[in-house]
Amino acid sequence: MKGRTLVLVLILITGVSLATVFFYKDFQKNQPVREYSSNITIDDLYNADAEVAQVLAQLEKSQEKAIIVTGVPGSSRQIALTFDGLTDRNTMQQILVLLKKYNSKATFFVDGLHTVEDPQTLADIKNAGQKIENFTLVGMPKMENLPIERLAKDFCRAEKIVKENATQDPNLLKCNDTKYTEQVLQVAKACGFKNVVQSDAFFNVRQSNAAAIDADAFVAALRPGSIVSVKLLADIELITNEPGKTDLKPAIDKQPGLKEMSQGGLGEPEIALAVEKLLIALQKAQYSTVFVEDYSKMSSKTALRPDYSNYFALLAKIASFLQEQSMALFSCPIAYAAEGIEQPATEIKTIFTTEQALSYTFGGLTKEAVVNDVLERLNTLGIKATFFVSEAEMEKYPQIVRKIIADKHEVGIAIRPKAGASLEETRKSIMSSSRLLKEQFGVSANLVKQISGIVADTTKEAVGSLDYKLIGQSINIVQLKHKDYTSVDAIMAELFRSSIVSLSRGEILYFKMDFYTDNQIVGGLLESIKQNKIDNIAYAAFYDNSTNNRANNSQYRIKPVGEILNNTKYTYQYPVDLQKVPPHLRHDGPEIAIDSHNFLATASQHYIGQNDVSFEDRMIGFSKMDERRLDKTGFVHTQDNVIFLTFDDWGSDAAINKLLYVLRKHNVPGTFFIITNNVLYNPNLLRAIAVEGHEIGSHSDKHKPMAVMDPKTHKYVKTQEKEEYLKDLATSYQKLREVTGDVTVNGKPALTRFFRPPTLAISKMGLEALLDTGYDYIISGSTSTNDYKAKDITQLVDTIKEGVYTQYGEVKKGAILVMHMGDSVIYTPAALDILLTANEAKADSDPSKFKVGRLSDYLFAGYSQINPKRTLRLVHSADNVRK
Ligand SMILES: [Zn+2]
In the predicted model, is pLDDT for residue 302 greater than 50? no
CA of 786 to the centre of ligand 1 (A): 11
Q: Which amino acid is at 309?
A: S
CA of 645 to the centre of ligand 1 (A): 15
Q: Which long-range contacts (CB under 8 A, 24 or more apart) does 569-573 make?
A: 569/355, 570/353, 570/354, 570/355, 571/351, 571/352, 571/353, 571/355, 572/352, 572/353, 572/354, 572/687, 573/352
Question: What is the helix (H) or strand (E) element at residue 67, kind and residue range?
Answer: strand 67-69
CB-CB neighbours of 822 under 10 Å: 18
CA of 759 to the centre of ligand 1 (A): 6
Tell which wins on pLDDT, 306 or 551. Answer: 551
Torsion of CA 258, 262, 264, 267, to 10 degrees: -90
What confidence tier does 675 reach under pLDDT thresholds 50, 70, 90? Answer: very high
CA of 674 to the centre of ligand 1 (A): 8
The region of weakest confidence among 16-25, 390-399, 402-411 is 16-25
Give 464's DSSP letter. Answer: H
The region of weakest confidence among 114-118, 132-136, 270-274 is 114-118
Mean pLDDT on 529-545:
93
Q: How many Å apart are CA 460 and CA 457, to the nearest integer?
A: 5
Tell which wins on pLDDT, 189 or 299. Answer: 189
Write down the pLDDT at residue 396. Answer: 97
Cβ-count burial 349-372 (b if 16+ within 10 Å, e if not)? ebbbbbbbbbbbbbbbbebeebbe
Give the model confidence (pLDDT) of 606-631 as tens digits. Answer: 999 999 999 999 999 999 999 999 99
CA of 323 to the centre of ligand 1 (A): 50
Write down the pLDDT at residue 564. Answer: 98
Q: How many Å apart are CA 61 and CA 812, to the nearest integer?
A: 39
Length of the chain equals 883
Q: How many Å apart are CA 167 and CA 126, to the nearest integer?
A: 8
Q: Which amino acid is at 449?
A: K
Closest among 829, 847, 868, 824 to 645, alpha carbons compared: 829
Q: How many Å apart are CA 420 and CA 745, to the nearest integer?
A: 49
Q: Which domains does the chain have, with CATH numbers?
A: 45-335 (3.20.20.370), 349-566 (3.20.20.370), 602-877 (3.20.20.370)
3-state SS string for 660-710: HHHHHHCCCCCEEEECCCCHHHCHHHHHHHHHCCCEEEECCCCCCCCCEEC
If phi > 0 it is left, if psi is from -120 to 50 it is alpha, else beta; for residue 265 that is left
- Tell me whether residue 224 is exposed, middle or buried, using C-beta atoms within 10 angstroms of its C-beta: 0 to 12, 13 to 18, 19 or more: middle
What confidence tier does 139 reach under pLDDT thresholds 50, 70, 90? Answer: confident
Write down the pLDDT at residue 215. Answer: 87
Mean pLDDT on 21-26:
36
DSSP secondary structure letters along 90-120:
HHHHHHHHHHHHTT---EEEE-HHHHHH-HH
Write down the pLDDT at residue 208. Answer: 60
20 within 8 A of 262, measured Cβ to Cβ: yes
CA of 700 to the centre of ligand 1 (A): 9
Q: How many Å apart are CA 698 and CA 646, to the nearest integer?
A: 12
Compute CA 672 distance to the chain's CA centroid, rounded to the nearest angstrom: 23
CA of 756 to the centre of ligand 1 (A): 8
Closest among 620, 619, 599, 601 to 610, alpha carbons compared: 619
In the predicted model, is pLDDT for residue 1 greater than 70? no
CA of 820 to the centre of ligand 1 (A): 8
CA of 831 to the centre of ligand 1 (A): 20
Q: Which residues contact 317 (CB under 8 A, 6 or more apart)?
A: none
CA of 780 to the centre of ligand 1 (A): 11
- What are the Cα distances from residue 87, in Å, to 27, 209, 344? 20, 18, 29
In the predicted model, is pLDDT for residue 809 greater than 60? yes
CA of 650 to the centre of ligand 1 (A): 9
Write down the pLDDT at residue 196. Answer: 92
Give the model confidence (pLDDT) of 828-880 as tens digits. Answer: 999 999 999 999 999 999 999 999 999 999 998 889 999 998 888 887 666 54
Q: How many Å apart are CA 70 and CA 562, to the nearest integer?
A: 23
Q: How many Å apart are CA 135 and CA 108, to the nearest integer?
A: 9
* Three-class secondary structure of residue 361 per DSSP: strand
CA of 712 to the centre of ligand 1 (A): 24
Query: In the Cβ-directed half-sphere of 502, how many Cα atoms lie within 13 Å?
Result: 26
Mean pLDDT on 74-89:
86
In the predicted model, is pLDDT for residue 274 greater than 70? yes
CA of 498 to the centre of ligand 1 (A): 21
In the predicted model, is pLDDT for residue 4 greater than 60? no
Q: How many Å apart are CA 513 and CA 362, to the nearest integer?
A: 7
Q: How many Å apart are CA 522 and CA 529, to the nearest integer?
A: 11
CA of 702 to the centre of ligand 1 (A): 10
CA of 703 to the centre of ligand 1 (A): 6
570 within 8 A of 353, measured Cβ to Cβ: yes
Tell which wins on pLDDT, 182 or 473. Answer: 473
* Three-class secondary structure of residue 558 per DSSP: strand
The region of weakest confidence among 29-33, 150-154, 539-543, 691-695 is 29-33
Write down the pLDDT at residue 740. Answer: 98
Give 254's DSSP letter. Answer: G
CB-CB neighbours of 817 under 10 Å: 25
CA of 454 to the centre of ligand 1 (A): 40
If phi > 0 it is left, if psi is from -120 to 50 it is alpha, else beta; for residue 797 that is alpha
Q: How many Å apart are CA 401 and CA 409, to the nearest integer?
A: 10
What confidence tier does 723 reach under pLDDT thresholds 50, 70, 90? Answer: very high
- Measured at the alpha carbon of residue 382, what is the angle toward residues 380 and 388, in degrees to the nearest 5? 100
Write down the pLDDT at residue 235. Answer: 55
What confidence tier does 342 reach under pLDDT thresholds 50, 70, 90? Answer: low
CA of 699 to the centre of ligand 1 (A): 7
* Three-class secondary structure of residue 873 per DSSP: helix
Q: Which residues contact 775 (CB under 8 A, 6 or more apart)?
A: 591, 698, 729, 733, 753, 754, 755
Write down the pLDDT at residue 69. Answer: 87
Compute CA 257 distance to the chain's CA centroid, rounded to the nearest angstrom: 41
604 within 8 A of 630, measured Cβ to Cβ: yes
In the predicted model, is pLDDT for residue 749 greater than 70? yes
Mean pLDDT on 83-96:
88
CA of 754 to the centre of ligand 1 (A): 14
CA of 281 to the centre of ligand 1 (A): 72
Write down the pLDDT at residue 202. Answer: 86
Tell which wins on pLDDT, 790 or 238. Answer: 790
What confidence tier does 298 reach under pLDDT thresholds 50, 70, 90? Answer: low
In the predicted model, is pLDDT for residue 25 greater than 80? no
Compute CA 611 distance to the chain's CA centroid, rounded to the nearest angstrom: 43
CA of 622 to the centre of ligand 1 (A): 22
Tell which wins on pLDDT, 345 or 170. Answer: 345
**Beta bridge pairs of residue 141:** none
- Percent of the residues in the chain that have a pLDDT greater than 90, as a whole number: 60
The region of weakest confidence among 251-265, 614-628, 789-803, 809-823 is 251-265
In the predicted model, is pLDDT for residue 53 greater than 90? no
What confidence tier does 46 reach under pLDDT thresholds 50, 70, 90? Answer: low
**Beta bridge pairs of residue 643:** 815, 852
CA of 762 to the centre of ligand 1 (A): 13
In the predicted model, is pLDDT for residue 792 greater than 70? yes
DSSP secondary structure letters along 844-870:
TT-TT--EEPPHHHHS-TT--TT-HHH
Pairing of strands 777-779, 642-649: unpaired
Give 317's DSSP letter. Answer: H
Summary mean pLDDT of the chain: 84
- Identify whether 829 is preceded by a cis peptide bond (ω within 30 of 0): no
What confidence tier does 299 reach under pLDDT thresholds 50, 70, 90? Answer: low
CB-CB neighbours of 181 under 10 Å: 14
In the predicted model, is pLDDT for residue 72 greater than 90? no
CA of 778 to the centre of ligand 1 (A): 14
Write down the pLDDT at residue 29. Answer: 35
Give the model confidence (pLDDT) of 462-493 as tens digits. Answer: 999 998 999 999 999 998 899 999 999 999 99
CA of 765 to the centre of ligand 1 (A): 19
Mean pLDDT on 114-118:
77
Closest among 550, 494, 489, 552 to 525, alpha carbons compared: 489
Q: How many Å apart are CA 554 and CA 356, to the nearest integer?
A: 8
Mean pLDDT on 395-402:
97
CA of 806 to the centre of ligand 1 (A): 27
Write down the pLDDT at residue 840. Answer: 97
CA of 554 to the centre of ligand 1 (A): 25
CA of 601 to the centre of ligand 1 (A): 27
CA of 848 to the centre of ligand 1 (A): 30
Compute CA 693 distance to the chain's CA centroid, rounded to the nearest angstrom: 19
CA of 705 to the centre of ligand 1 (A): 9
What confidence tier does 429 reach under pLDDT thresholds 50, 70, 90? Answer: very high
Question: What is the helix (H) or strand (E) element at residue 508, kind and residue range?
Answer: strand 508-512
- Measured at the alpha carbon of residue 424, what is the angle toward residues 420 and 426, in degrees to the nearest 5? 60
The region of weakest confidence among 94-98, 235-239, 433-437, 680-684 is 235-239
Mean pLDDT on 151-169:
81
